[in-house]
Amino acid sequence: MASPARLELTGITKRFPGVLANDNVGFSVKPGEIHALLGENGAGKSTLVKMIYGIMQPDAGEIRWDGQRISVPNPKVARKLGIGMVFQHFSLFEAMTVLENIALGMDAKIPARELESRILAVMGQYGLKLEPHRIVSTLSVGERQRIEIVRALLLNPKLLIMDEPTSVLTPQEVEQLFAVLRKLAEEGCSILYISHKLHEIKALCDTATILRGGQLVDTCDPAVETSRSMAEKMIGGSLKDISRVAGREFGATKLAVKALSLAADGPFGTALSDISFNVRAGEIFGVAGVAGNGQNALLLALSGEATNADPASVTVDGVAVGHMQARARRGHGMGSVPEERNGHAAVPIFTLADNAVLTARDRLGMVRAGLIDAKAARTYAGEVIEAFSVKATGPGAMAESLSGGNLQKYIMGREILQKPQVLIVSQPTWGVDAGAAAAIHQALVDLAATGSAIVVISQDLDELLSLCDTMAVINGGRLSRPMAVADAKIDEIGLLMGGIHGDVAHAH
Amino acid sequence: MSPDFIIAAIITVVGLSTPILLAGLGELVVEKSGVLNLGVEGMMLVGAISGFAVTVYTFNPWFGVLGAAAGGALASLIFAVLVLQLNSNQVATGLALTIFGTGISSLMGLSFTGRIVMPFTSVFPDVLAKHDYLRLIFGYSPLVYFALIMVPLTTWFLKSTRAGLILRAVGENDLSAHSIGYSVIKVRYAAIAFGGAMAGIGGCYFSMVITPMWAEKMTAGRGWIALALVVFAGWRTGRLFAGAYFFGILMALELYAKASGFSFLPSQFWAAMPYAMTVIALSFISSRGTAGANAPACLGKPFLPST
């Protein structure tokens, strides 16, 4: 036998009230191997790595480290063993400097000056650029991730766990990250890479372990598998393609946005400046961009939550609505779904029926003489639940009792079944599993086929490329020139997302 | 205005500023750890009676100060258990602590009413402490110098020590600090106890230095001024120091207006000024958008590590 595996798990089981999060999971990671942990939301990936990193304890099973059986009671012990972790949601302290943030992640007391020189050394070695004295709140998402990586690398880890590291990065940043990870692996560091992005796993990983519903489905070689075969293992069924009519023609302009500007909302908001685009009947228009570049402001300005002095800045079916509030815009055929489900798109402590009243009351006549027609609301909520296979006890279920994916399906359904002429959605499949995402995508395509104009704001480039007819990139509150998705080049989109403006986008 | 009047005025301001500076420094550390303890007034009263009682029995004001610190810290630990262990609402619990502290200090003080304790002897020789002019520098109670030393010490602790860094981290993002492996609860216990001890020492300044005797509710709302002071200072120790003396001037004007019938502005106006100044300072700072960055992000929120 060769040397023992760096990390070997056998029979790991973890139970939460009502859920078996991990059921007898076992796999091993060799030194220098980049090992993917693949699965949908809720498949148990995060729980599993939390046990490896000592945040949670397994109910049963054993963890072996370089052949030795170990227990990891807390993250400190994990770090001492040489396990580093970069979280999906960064555990950073916004109001503190890069240096302070890194110092907090170190168990040993190191004088600030020595720490700084070690940080600079690690950054030089792996080509990670960071300014140690910047306050974290002023940094981009990619830079924040670099802090986490540097923090982990300073401990000279033998195993680095990366939890969905690329969900917030531009394609160029992803490439830089992969270069760092490959260099680390060459030096013998094992990497456990959690993701559900299949092409990344194919590009980066040596082995992939697939989890579904807490159980290990398969351990395979991503180079041999296709993205499709891995996706099907992941969801445990065959994947449906979005079916759409080829060579569709678009109708007249439904939504016209002309020179739309909006002041920044608070010191951390992004101002919109001079945004113009048209969406025709039957067209799905995508807005790509890295988080925090004005997506929220754009949604607010389009939906009517933020109004504009110039009525002509937004027109729906030729009616200037720029000065109107959301309800008035809805009256002219607009619908919208914001990014945040709880507390923005839906009131968590309202029933699904009451939540239906919030946006559908005028169009579907749910209010008569100032009184809510409870029966009409329940009936409509029931239709949405039925049509979008929302898992809920019924129209009387509290919105907060639904899982994120189910609530998202309900909210999307609530808007789509109202057959809006123009629909604005932000992050339609954020945190939604692949099956539900496919259903939501299909519903959007079907709505477009009936002649509605749809705007999809998303950070998921794959989603936009597969769903949209036309797309543009938002960066720093400015929108690039729209391009047909059929001729879009991923490099070019990446550059736009990274803020490289000007003639690159429309060289032709 | 005669020099004597000016010297007397300055000594009054220093005396008024010291208790709120002590309590304010303690509360600043508590709030930096992400906990809002509105019980400062109650802890000050418990400190005032504890310090007084210990001094009565031991005849040593230094033991009295230790007693005041212990009394304040004990009172704060009741709050800490409720807020940290049982996740009760911090605002309601803090208010309850003030009501409780007011009551328990009155009860404890029943048998001490009318008694007098031995005051502190000056730490400096009489040549300096009783000198006509040098008493401006050397003529104060040791607690005044203690408060002044605590300002740079607290600054140094928060800015330059690892423990201070961890404390700020816990107040900034408790879940992250927890996931890195720091004990949020322990850090907050320590911070709350420190805040209680400092409020207790601030309270005993009333019963052991200013009067020196015990009277019910003798802190007269200074705990609330200390709370306002922390916000006024934007959670910065340097500004807290300046703010304490600024508030001290306002409080001196209030006393002066009361005592002399000074008709230019009524005493109530000056009594309201610290709060009005806090509101103005707060709206000024937040309109520039920098207060948000400096207020501890987890201030007042319960720590609920579930996932």
Most confident range (mean pLDDT) of A268-272, A461-465, B42-46 is: B42-46
- By C-alpha distance, the chain B residue nearest A89 is B176
The confidence score (pLDDT) of residue A212 equals: 86
Contact check, Cβ <8 Å, B289/A103: no
CB A167 within 8 A of CB A88: yes
Contact check, Cβ <8 Å, B168/A266: no
Contact check, Cβ <8 Å, A103/B162: yes
Average pLDDT for residues B184-205, to the nearest whole number? 97
SS3 A291: coil
From chain B, pick out residues whose CB is under 8 angstroms from the CB of A109: 162
Residues A253-350+420-497: name the CATH superfamily: P-loop containing nucleotide triphosphate hydrolases (3.40.50.300)
How far apart CA A139 and CA B253 sit, in angstroms, is 47
Inform me whether the C-beta atom of residue A94 falls under 8 Å from chain B C-beta atoms: yes
Q: Would the pLDDT of A377 be above 90?
A: yes
Interface predicted TM-score (ipTM):
0.77
Average pLDDT for residues A206-219, to the nearest whole number? 90
Alpha helices in A166-208 (DSSP H): 171-186, 198-204
From chain A, pick out residues whose CB is under 8 angstroms from the CB of B294: 95
Lowest mean pLDDT across A127-141, A320-334, B81-95: A127-141
Average pLDDT for residues A54-69, to the nearest whole number? 92
Q: Which of A87, A103, A107 sits opposite B179 (nearest CB)?
A: A87
Contact check, Cβ <8 Å, A91/B168: no
Q: Would the pLDDT of A489 be above 50?
A: yes
Which DSSP letter does residue A500 get? -
- pLDDT confidence tier of residue B1, bands split at 50, 70 and 90: low
For the stretch A378-400, what's the b/e string if a residue is b when 16 or more beta carbons lie within 10 angstroms of its beta carbon? bebbbebbeebebebeebebbbe
Most confident range (mean pLDDT) of A5-19, A30-44, A256-270, B22-36 is: B22-36
| DSSP line for chain B | --HHHHHHHHHHHHHHHHHHHHHHHHHHHHHHTT---TTHHHHHHHHHHHHHHHHHHHS-HHHHHHHHHHHHHHHHHHHHIIIIIS---HHHHHHHHHHHHHHHHHHHHGGGTT-B-PPPPPSS-HHHHTSTTTHHHH-S-HHHHHHHHHHHHHHHHHHHSHHHHHHHHHHH-HHHHHHHT--HHHHHHHHHHHHHHHHHHHHHHIIIIIS-B--TTTTTTHHHHHHHHHHHTTT-HHHHHHHHHHHHHHHHHHHHHHHH---SS-HHHHHHHHHHHHHHHHHHHHHTT-HHHHS-TTTT-------
Structure tokens at B122: 């000056």
Domain B3-294: give its CATH code: 1.10.3470
H or E element that contains A235? helix A227-235
Structure tokens at B243: 């703010």
- Closest chain A C-alpha to B183 CA, distance in angstroms: 11
- pLDDT confidence tier of residue A246, bands split at 50, 70 and 90: low
How far apart CA A33 and CA A8 sit, in angstroms, is 13
From chain B, pick out residues whose CB is under 8 angstroms from the CB of A266: 289
Mean pLDDT (chain B) is 90
The confidence score (pLDDT) of residue B295 equals: 84
Inform me whether the C-beta atom of residue A91 falls under 8 Å from chain B C-beta atoms: yes
A253-350+420-497 and A7-235 share a CATH fold: yes
Q: Would the pLDDT of A174 be above 70?
A: yes
Q: Would the pLDDT of A507 be above 50?
A: no
Q: Would the pLDDT of B168 be above 90?
A: yes
Average pLDDT for residues A391-412, to the nearest whole number? 87
Query: In 3D, which of A248, A313, A308 has the Cα closest to residue A280?
Result: A248
Contact check, Cβ <8 Å, B294/A266: no
Residues A62-82 have pLDDT tens digits of 999 999 999 999 888 998 899
Domain A7-235: give its CATH code: 3.40.50.300
Contact check, Cβ <8 Å, B172/A93: yes
CB B45 within 8 A of CB B112: no
How far apart CA A395 and CA A348 sit, in angstroms, is 14
Q: Would the pLDDT of A385 be above 80?
A: yes
Inform me whether the C-beta atom of residue A182 falls under 8 Å from chain B C-beta atoms: no
The confidence score (pLDDT) of residue A504 equals: 39
The confidence score (pLDDT) of residue B263 equals: 59
Q: Which of B173, B180, B293 sits opposite A105 (nearest CB)?
A: B180
CB-count exposure of residue B249 (10 Å: 0-12, 13-18, 19+): middle
Interface of A with B in 213-272 (CB under 8 A): 266-267
Distances (CA, A) of A41 to A38, A226, A234, A330, A436: 10, 21, 10, 33, 11
Query: In 3D, which of A179, A184, A189 has the Cα closest to residue A159?
Result: A189
From chain A, pick out residues whose CB is under 8 angstroms from the CB of B171: none
Lowest mean pLDDT across A160-174, A308-322, B6-20: A160-174
Lowest mean pLDDT across A248-257, A260-269, A298-307, B193-202: A260-269
Q: Would the pLDDT of A501 be above 90?
A: no
Query: In 3D, which of B286, B280, B83 has the Cα closest to residue B195?
Result: B83
- pLDDT confidence tier of residue A472, bands split at 50, 70 and 90: very high
How far apart CA A435 and CA A429 sit, in angstroms, is 10
- pLDDT confidence tier of residue A505, bands split at 50, 70 and 90: very low
Lowest mean pLDDT across A55-69, A233-247, A308-322, B221-235: A233-247
The confidence score (pLDDT) of residue A239 equals: 60
How far apart CA A54 and CA A47 sit, in angstroms, is 10
Inform me whether the C-beta atom of residue A92 falls under 8 Å from chain B C-beta atoms: yes
From chain A, pick out residues whose CB is under 8 angstroms from the CB of B164: none
